Structure 1
Amino acid sequence: MLITEQDASAIGSGALPFVDAFYDIRHAYNATTGSFSISGYSGKLPVTIQNMPEQQTGGVYDAAAGSFTLINYAGEKVAGTVAIPGGLSSSIFISRDENYVYAANNSTHVISVVDRVTGGSYALNLPNVNGISVNPGGTIVLAFLANSDDIYSVVHLTTAQQTAAANNPHYQGAEDCEPQNLPQFCVFPVSTGTAKFDRPLKAVFSSDGSSAYVIDCGPECGGSTAGVTVIPITGSVLNQGSEGASGISLAATSFTAIPGGATNGLFSGNTLYIAGQQFQGGSPCSTTPGAPGSGVLMEGCLTVLNTPSNTIGGVYSISDGTHNKMVMGDESTLWIGAAQCQAGVRYQQVQAGVSGIQYGCLTMFNTSTNTVTVDAYKGDATGIAAVLGLNKIYSAEGGQVYIYNTSSMTELDNSNVSVTGTAVDVAYMDAATDSDNTTY
């Protein structure tokens, strides 16, 4: 299990310790002392891990230097560092073939692209860009803006298009093309088509890769209606002949309102689990949520959407807060992590003396029985990793590492995996698939 550990002191530095997730220890199974960490890592504020166990690689973003460090899992050492142009990133991805790195730089208002094949680095101008979503195949790169209903697509141009776009930053309606003298990449607006976007935050991709499901935050982000917008991905919308990002003619086709709110989503087969918040209505996670207003709190909800029929199978009360992490675990469990969970309805109920209420930031949802278990409050749940096959979950909550079993969410002994600094993210390096990590 790989952990991002921060030390924000003037003389301290960050580290990437890893522990044995079978025995839940930091030392060798046949020893009683010792510890292990990724050799060669020197970042000060490691934040997120993009876990790619299929490639035996991890990508760690350092919020102090604004750099992206690649970790060789087999060698347990740094494999290289990618410098990101444009400043600090709010969202960053590397393609599975490790050829391209894409980042949203919200302070400098650019999308950064690093082409590791040619060694080129580019910064595409896009005011208020705040998030990036990339599909597993690396052909779709979507960019999301803060407080906006617009979405943009990054496109790698063909040689012929580069010539046609020379000194024309708005080539074929692009927002920007760079470098302007002979553009390599452009960023194009995504059409609403026959649907709409309502404060879109990110996209999750169907299991067969045929569609992007955009998560529309709606009222939770100052919009009107939370929902899911579908963008088909077919050969006709891709820029034929280019490598990497290719979504040149993307258009939405449908919008489904999600009454429980939408800030994150995770596919399991044809079922899309959507986590979000709604303004408190007459009953927990009502299909007719309340309206925003003075003193109206938000409550966390999980919506189960059957995508073939486009029908909602249920809405369930979960931890409050902004839901940034979702991972499938053993024993038919879905784990959801949130930030600022103490600012919602559950905390208010505890303060009012209601018994039997937990207001922690980590939720376990049993997908077979549709039952919800909420953790006791430990702080923001910033990282979750499923140790598949061993019926356990590792989490980073409130800056520390915790372990739970998947049968009842009972806490396991974490005394041998706790860190001295601040734990922010966790990743299972020996996972079977790259899907054992959903936000990076």
Structure 2
Amino acid sequence: MKSVSVARSAAALLCATVVVLLTGCGYRPYKTTENQFAGRPVPPSKLTQRVMVAISQASLLGGGLEVLDAKRDIRSNVYVANSTTMISAYSSNAKSIINYPEQMRGYVYSSDGAINTINYSTEAGSGTTASTTGALSSYFVSQDVYSVLTAVESSGLFVMNAPSTASATTSSVMTTYSFPVPSVYKVVANPSHSVILLMLRNSNNVYRVLQLNANQAGNQTPPANSLTCMPVNNPVYCIVPVNPPDGTSNGTPQPTFHRPYDAYFSPDGSQVYFLNCGRECGGTSATGDDVSGVSFVDLNTLRIDYYPPNGAAVSPSTTFVSVPGGATAAISDGNTLYVSGQSLQTDGLFGGNLSLIPLSTKTISATYSISDGTHTKMLFADNNTLWIGSSNCASGERQAHNQNYNCLTRYDITNRTAGIVPNVTPGGSTTVPYPNENLDKYYYGSLTGLCWVESLNKVYTAYGGQVHAFNTVDGSEIDNTNITVQGTANDVAYMDASTNEVN
């Protein structure tokens, strides 16, 4: 009896020890230290690979920001049973995300016109960065929150939150300037916000922001070609054209740009690649702006502090490379510029293309057929792959010819092959693995969000209003049963990326 009692006591002690170890030290499915990569603190959720999803719901329910465990591909938190992680102090209908993982924060635009700051360390909203009247068509918030730029196409307003004097520092009082710029629909800025560009709908014109320097000898007056300046009585900033008015040659218009749609800054920060949308954006041969391509422009004369000599208009030095496949989005690895867009086909529909331009030659080396639709998302990921997302793909060339017309393309850089994912056969037996709420077996819908979960061989997407994840090795879809969200998924961001540039 004594030996049995001793055995029982030993067993009880062992169990107690295990319990103490598990409860005292805490259940740790992830290996974490007090400060993670680059000194980042362990967040309240204790998750180390997080994807934040921007969600909108019916107006009566509101939306929010949900954090998914991208390592395990689950929405529940393994540390707390039957729980999910939501960004606290935020309950708006979230539309899109600007992701700054290096600064451990992001900026989320919601349907109420507000841009809110999200603290990744505390997983909480930390106030409104800016608010607008009217839906934004484009916005930019700098990494240091030193510059907040918004474009409201419906009212023709470009709004800039910036220092109130030319000699101001980041600690100076910030002032909101509203510039009337009819048809403005896009604002583009480089990371240091030393170049701020404005693009207009159905126009070949590009404008830039110019900061007047009141301390310069003789002072600076607004250039004669300024579109508008603010404040009116004592200007600090002006909106000036990048290109001169369209010229003509033998009676044929010769615009500097051809329906510019966007701009991408070179990895070394020395050039701006203007993406000329051409025919895809309504350009015609009659006006000479139906040609799509890339305009390579040196950055120096576009800087916010570049005042043209004697206030005269200066046309930038431009190298134009025609891209027949279309140009609405681009990304570069420093050696090659990858450009996506659409070209008009003989049947009157548009077809999607990926064009490769080696920067050493500035000539197209290859073109690949990809998803149709308006291309807006491009990023590199594991396994030497490039991922391209577009919207409204069901009305293009592929759908008309009963081909896979989904909106996500995986390009294998090593093997130089492009494939649309998921891989389906419209009307056939090969269907989408995880249909969205509409139960469409062959089409997910527009791709509005895309992020790379580094080193885990996967990308996450907001695809047709729901979260879908894909394996970068072969493009196969990861089971999304446990990462679906309640409401409409509009955007995704990898909160724990190593740099701002990779996502």
Matched, 1:3 2:53: yes
1: distance between equivalents of 2:329 and 2:64? 28
Give the residue type in structure 2 aligned to 1:340.
N
Superposition pairs of residues 38-117 of structure 1, within 5 angstroms: 38-44=87-93, 46-62=94-110, 64-85=111-132, 87-115=134-162, 117=172
1: distance between equivalents of 2:229 and 2:354? 39
Shift of 1:188: 0.9
Equivalent in 269, 278, 287 of residue 209 of structure 1: 269
Task: Tell whether the 8 Å contact from 1:43 to 1:65 is kept in structure 2 after alignment.
Answer: yes
My pick for the range that moved more, 407-416 or 189-198, is 189-198
How many equivalent residue pairs?
406
Give the residue type in structure 2 aligned to 1:196.
T
Matched, 1:368 2:414: yes
1: distance between equivalents of 2:117 and 2:60? 24
Judged with a 3 Å threshold, the aligned counterparts in structure 2 of structure 1 residues 119 and 43 are, in CA distance, closer, same or farther, namely farther
1: distance between equivalents of 2:305 and 2:120? 34
Equivalent in 403, 422, 439 of residue 488 of structure 2: 422
2: distance between equivalents of 1:65 and 1:249? 40
2: distance between equivalents of 1:52 and 1:12? 28
Residue in 2 that maps onto 1:129: 184
RMSD over aligned Cα atoms: 2.3
1: distance between equivalents of 2:332 and 2:255? 21
Shift of 1:331: 0.6
Shift of 1:349: 1.6
Matched, 1:316 2:362: no
Shift of 1:88: 2.5
Superposition pairs of residues 209-228 of structure 1, within 5 angstroms: 209-223=269-283, 224-228=290-294
Give the residue type in structure 2 aligned to 1:51.
N
2: distance between equivalents of 1:367 and 1:106? 37
Superposition pairs of residues 352-363 of structure 1, within 5 angstroms: 357-363=403-409
2: distance between equivalents of 1:30 and 1:74? 17
SS at 1:220 equivalent: helix
Scaled by the length of structure 1, what TM-score is found? 0.87
Superposition pairs of residues 286-435 of structure 1, within 5 angstroms: 290=346, 295-350=347-402, 357-376=403-422, 377-435=443-501
Give the residue type in structure 1 aligned to 2:204.
D
Residue in 1 that maps onto 2:235: 183
2: distance between equivalents of 1:241 and 1:109? 25
My pick for the range that moved more, 297-306 or 175-184, is 175-184
2: distance between equivalents of 1:332 and 1:413? 23
Rg larger for:
2
Give the residue type in structure 1 aligned to 2:61.
G
Judged with a 3 Å threshold, the aligned counterparts in structure 2 of structure 1 residues 318 and 22 are, in CA distance, closer, same or farther, namely same
Task: Tell whether the 8 Å contact from 2:210 to 2:305 is kept in structure 1 after alignment.
Answer: no
2: distance between equivalents of 1:407 and 1:69? 35
Task: Tell whether the 8 Å contact from 1:232 to 1:250 is kept in structure 2 after alignment.
Answer: no
Give the residue type in structure 1 aligned to 2:121.
A
Task: Tell whether the 8 Å contact from 2:113 to 2:133 is kept in structure 1 after alignment.
Answer: no
Equivalent in 197, 201, 206 of residue 146 of structure 1: 201
Give the residue type in structure 2 aligned to 1:304.
L
Shift of 1:277: 0.5
Gaps of 5+ in 1: 243-247, 281-289, 351-356
Give the residue type in structure 1 aligned to 2:458.
K
Shift of 1:421: 0.2
SS at 1:212 equivalent: strand
SS at 1:25 equivalent: coil
Shift of 1:85: 4.7
Residue in 1 that maps onto 2:299: 233
Superposition pairs of residues 9-48 of structure 1, within 5 angstroms: 9-44=58-93, 46-48=94-96
SS at 1:382 equivalent: strand
SS at 1:50 equivalent: strand
Scaled by the length of structure 2, what TM-score is found? 0.77
Give the residue type in structure 1 aligned to 2:162.
D
Shift of 1:296: 1.5
Shift of 1:86: 5.5
Task: Tell whether the 8 Å contact from 1:84 to 1:112 is kept in structure 2 after alignment.
Answer: no
2: distance between equivalents of 1:386 and 1:232? 30
SS at 1:159 equivalent: coil
Shift of 1:84: 3.7
Give the residue type in structure 1 aligned to 2:77.
A
* Deviations 1:108-136, CA, capped at 9 Å, x for gaps: 11111012752311111111001011112
Task: Tell whether the 8 Å contact from 1:86 to 1:112 is kept in structure 2 after alignment.
Answer: no
SS at 2:418 equivalent: strand
Judged with a 3 Å threshold, the aligned counterparts in structure 2 of structure 1 residues 346 and 423 are, in CA distance, closer, same or farther, namely same
Task: Tell whether the 8 Å contact from 2:162 to 2:176 is kept in structure 1 after alignment.
Answer: yes
1: distance between equivalents of 2:410 and 2:360? 25
My pick for the range that moved more, 26-35 or 314-323, is 26-35
SS at 1:343 equivalent: coil
Gaps of 5+ in 2: 1-50, 164-171, 246-253, 284-289, 308-312, 423-442
Task: Tell whether the 8 Å contact from 1:51 to 1:436 is kept in structure 2 after alignment.
Answer: no
2: distance between equivalents of 1:380 and 1:240? 39
Task: Tell whether the 8 Å contact from 2:114 to 2:128 is kept in structure 1 after alignment.
Answer: yes
Task: Tell whether the 8 Å contact from 1:195 to 1:253 is kept in structure 2 after alignment.
Answer: no
Judged with a 3 Å threshold, the aligned counterparts in structure 2 of structure 1 residues 230 and 159 are, in CA distance, closer, same or farther, namely same
